Amino acid sequence: MRGWLLPSLALLVIAAFAGSLLVGPAGLAPLAVLDGLFGLRSETVVLVVQEIRLPRSLLAATIGATLGLAGAALQGYLRNPLAEPGLIGISGAAALGAVLTLYTGLSAAFSLALPIGGMAGAVCAVLLVQALAGRDAGTLSLILAGVAVTSFAAALTSLALNLAPSPFAALEIVFWLLGSLSGRSMEHVALAVPFMAIGWLLLASCARGLDALTLGEDAARSLGFDLRALRRRLILGTALSVGAATAVAGAIGFVGLVIPHLLRPLVGYRPGALLPVSALGGAVLLLLADMAVRVVTPGQELKLGVVTALIGAPFFFWLVVQSRREAT
């Protein structure tokens, strides 16, 4: 089963990445884009491809991978199908942290402050949700804690933006609550990708521990897994990757929910094996969603969160119906 899954997902990522480079208002021919990518065309084409489209595609792929991976890891660790960075408040709190550093001018003075703010917000959210819901949380308490953290973070984000000195800030609430890749540059890539990569490594290192955890905590412990170390790596990995991602693109929901659910049956319900395929799946989904916002309304782009919610919300409905059927 798994033999073909990873390569085919990787191919999909490459195809979606190429497609993402080809889409844009300037309407460049595919060959021109290819040449532009390697700096072989006129300065204008090179500028459009290398400075405008490439950072956008890179961020869509890496942020999508982050959200898919973090969703899969959280679901495995909390043994709860609804654990997802957006739903349990990590993205919202990361956005708040980023907003606080950006609009106070801290990130203008010290650019790393932006991802650090996002990651600090994410750490706070994970710890808060865990404290509120307890370690082996039931679905209800986890979701309640997540809703509480999310709405509190959203309220504080709106408040901070309303109080921000810039006259544009209040209009940017939408960016932070729904997420967007519009106007992103290589500077954002350089700020976010290194932290995301460290986060991925930490999360990937949890794979075997998560597999063992399906047998129960005691069984996992008796197999020699240090559950506390596992938890630390998981929290840190999630916070680093989701925090950095949110700091440059806002809170993008549902990717971490939908992708692990879709792919779980294909890996035999093993949480460890789910991690890499969810990362690739998340990358594909966000690349496609970001192409959609550019194609559907080319003038004034939709926010990314709108598209992911349009895909994710019906899926959520289906999940609710499914769980009720199982309950009866």
Partner 1 sequence: MPRARAVLVIAAFAILACLQPGAAGAADGERPARVVSLNLCTDQLVLELLERERIASISFLGADPRYSAVAGRARGIPRNHGRAEEVLRLDPDLVLAGTYTSRATVALLRRLDYRVVEMAPPRDIPAVRAQIRRIADVLGVSKRGEALIRAFDRKLRAAAPAGAGARPSAVIYEANGIAVGDGELADAAVEAAGLSNLAAEMGLRGPSPLSLEHLVVARPDVLILQNHGENAPSQATHLLDHPALRHLRERTAVAIVPEALWTCGGPQLAEAVARLAEARRAVQREGG
Given the rule CB under 8 A, which residues bind partner 1?
24-26, 43-44, 47-48, 51-53, 102-103, 105, 107-108, 164-166, 168-169, 171-172, 175, 183, 185-187, 298-300
Q: Quick one: 133 or 164, whose CB is closer to partner 1?
A: 164
Least distance in angstroms from the C-beta of 284 to partner 1: 24
Q: Quick one: 48 or 239, whose CB is closer to partner 1?
A: 48
| Eight-state DSSP code of residue 165 | S
Contact 98, 118 (CB under 8 A): yes
Q: Quick one: 83 or 291, whose CB is closer to partner 1?
A: 291
Q: Quick one: 101 or 278, whose CB is closer to partner 1?
A: 101
Contact 286, 60 (CB under 8 A): yes
Write the Ramachandran bin of 60: left for phi over 0, alpha for psi from -120 to 50, otherwise beta. alpha
Q: Quick one: 51 or 226, whose CB is closer to partner 1?
A: 51
Q: Within 10 Å of residue 197's Cβ, how many Cβ atoms?
A: 16
Least distance in angstroms from the C-beta of 244 to partner 1: 17
Least distance in angstroms from the C-beta of 30 to partner 1: 16
Angstrom distance (rounded) from CA 121 to CA 54: 28
Angstrom distance (rounded) from CA 228 to CA 266: 29
Contact 181, 158 (CB under 8 A): no
Least distance in angstroms from the C-beta of 185 to partner 1: 5
Least distance in angstroms from the C-beta of 220 to partner 1: 44
Q: Within 10 Å of residue 212's Cβ, how many Cβ atoms?
A: 21
Angstrom distance (rounded) from CA 305 to CA 10: 24
